[in-house]
Structure 1
Amino acid sequence: MKKNAVSYAIIRFQPHVETEEFANIGIVLVAPRASYLDFRLETRRLGRLTSFFDSVEGATIRGVLKSYYTELKRIRDLAGHTGNGQRRFEFELSDNAEHLFHALTKDREGIIRFSEVRFAMTDNPKSKLDELFDYYVRRNFASSVYREGLLEKQVRGILKLRDIGRNFKPMAFSDGLYSAKFPFVEIFQDKPLKVLKPIYLGQDEPTRILDHGNKWLFTINRLKDKLPPDVVVAVEGPKDSLKRKQAFLEAVDLFRANDIKVVDAGNENELISAMER
């Protein structure tokens, strides 16, 4: 499929001009040759905004985003976007999707600002828009791999501080068809005695929390005959959202139901106690 050049800009919420602090809240994208103009704006998960900009009332933030969503929708409709391209083809130059995009993203003062215009190639502008939104706004790159890496670093620091880190080494286990690497394996006289796996379970959707928990549950059960009998998972869960917390607790219960020890990765005493047994 032929790829099209697209232009996009990150929509930013910047309530304090004096400090120049901002948070990414959306993406606007245009594919000129396809006459495609569309946007994604965060209007639901506002905890990050209300926490960071604590001097701005939550109701004010919601009001600003609601109004701006309406404005972006008006501009998108003006370009004639229906989801797959233009709805109409006889329009003034000022109604052209590309013209509207550049007029919209022009630098100006206000609470809502834009990044510099960036460029990409894609055969599906809608999928590209979703991908960019997930990356720059929802920060999905940080939800599992990145955050789990930080969690491993945190646990390594705790073990090192308690002077037991030298007893744990990374080690891979395999049944011949399936293999997995564990970052912390206690080895004594070349024999693995205990496995510790930090797992981040604070993803942005309950489904992703359960998926990631089930992935490691499957891995541990699949390799059970190869792993030492003492397997510990150090978990970090979500800080908000009732449904995400429910998914986290369900994942934890599944680990325990399979005789896997679960400790709070943020509780140093609980973690060390599990490692020293």
Structure 2
Amino acid sequence: MSAPWHAYQYVVLRWVPRVEREEFLNVGVVLHCPELDFLQARTSIDEQRLRAVHRGVDPAAVLTALDHVDRLCSGRAQGGYGAGVRATAYGTREVREDAGTRFGLVKAPRSTVIQPSPVHGGLTRDPEATLAHLLSTLVG
């Protein structure tokens, strides 16, 4: 009997050297499978490609930003929100420290050097293998 299918979502991490030019390189993937409490980031940068897009790039700074995403996904970094009760337009809600909350922070649009793509989804039997396949296919 084969393993059951599980729904997942993912975002592609994009390195955006100059937001106003709307140019980017894919540098990683974050996959979230809530049923299995799976949230992981995988990254890969090609310094030659980075330099082709922006000669003044500091690859170490890109790696540091990607490391922060990895630390956030694994729960080793505080997302800056803390758990507790938050006010919303509709009242209050409890903020939990879990994989879903951390994925929400990663997928939120922002105008920084590392940006997430729109959210995509699918079904997987093995999130780890799916993440490796997405990294290979979308980042190289």
TM-score (norm 2): 0.79
Which residue of structure 1 aligns with residue 8 of structure 2? Answer: 6
2:127 corresponds in structure 1 to 125
Contact conserved, 1:94 with 1:100, CA < 8 A, in 2? no
Q: CA RMSD in A?
A: 1.7
1:94 aligned partner, one-letter code: R
Deviations 1:158-187 (A, max 9, x none): xxxxxxxxxxxxxxxxxxxxxxxxxxxxxx
Give the C-alpha shift of residue 5 in structure 1: 0.3
Q: Match for residue 67 of structure 2?
A: 70
Conserved in 1, the CA contact under 8 Å of 2:42 and 2:70? no
CA–CA distance in structure 1, aligned partners of residues 21 and 126 of structure 2? 37
CA offsets 1:40-73 (integer angstroms, 9 cap, x no match): 1114x3211111222x23xx1x122221233123
Shift of 1:117: 0.4
Report how far residue 13 of structure 1 moved.
Answer: 0.6
Partner residue of 1:28? Answer: 30
Superposed displacement of residue 74, structure 1: 1.9
Higher RCO by CA contacts (8 Å cutoff, separation 6 or greater)? 2
Greater helix share, structure number: 1
Which structure shows the bigger proportion of residues in strand conformation? Answer: 2
Q: What residue ranges of structure 2 are gaps of 5+ in the alignment?
A: 77-93
Which structure is larger by alpha-carbon Rg, 1 or 2? 1
In structure 1, how many angstroms separate the alpha carbons of the residues matched to 2:104 and 2:60?
A: 25
SS at match of 2:21: coil
User: What percent identity do the matched residue pairs reach?
Assistant: 26
1:52 aligned partner: 53
Corresponding pairs, count = 121
Q: Structure 1: 5+ residue runs without aligned partners?
A: 80-91, 139-277
- The CA deviation string for residues 70-96 of structure 1, in whole angstroms up to 9 with x for no partner, is 3123212318xxxxxxxxxxxx95321
Contact conserved, 1:9 with 1:116, CA < 8 A, in 2? yes
Instruction: Give the residue type in structure 2 aligned to 1:53.
Output: H
Runs ≥4 in structure 1, deviation > 4 angstroms?
none
